[in-house]
Amino acid sequence: QVVLVESGGGLVQAGGSLRLSCAASASGIIFSVGVMGWYRQTPGNERELVASITSGGTTNYADSAKGRFTISRDNAKNPVYLQMNSLKAEDTAVYYCNADWAITNRGRGSNYWGQGTQVTVSS
């Protein structure tokens, strides 16, 4: 029903910056999207929250992201961005975009995930 498409990952040196983007699209009309977040996962580990933002702009960050990462979104629909500065080797992971719910002209759905984008930070 709703597809999340991420972009902006890549290879960067430690101390560098990357900006991830996530846009929601649907075959119909998207009226609103709920909390959107960025998660990351490394091999053998569970997916963990990096940052999230409500449709009203309230943000939440993991301790590891505070002071270095900034999540933002243009409006209550999409897209959502993650500006990552002062990157460290331990930030290397696959980053996933999530939307906890979305309302389209076809109804309401929940728990949408993007396909993931690789972020590699070289030390």
Statement: residue 76 has pLDDT above 80? no
**Residues 109, 77, 31, CA angle at the centre, nearest 5°?**
60
In DSSP terms, 21 is beta-bridged to 7, 81
Structure tokens at 57: 């702009």
DSSP state of 44: T
| Amino acid at residue number 26 | A
pLDDT at 122: 97
Q: How far is it, in rounded angstroms, from Cα 109 to Cα 96?
A: 18
Per-residue confidence band for 77, with pLDDT thresholds at 50, 70 and 90: low
Q: Which residue has the tokens 């002209």?
A: 105
Q: Is the pLDDT of residue 75 over 90?
A: no
Q: Residues 15-50: pLDDT tens digits?
A: 999 999 999 999 889 999 999 999 999 999 999 999
- How does residue 74 score in pLDDT terms, banded at 50, 70 and 90? confident
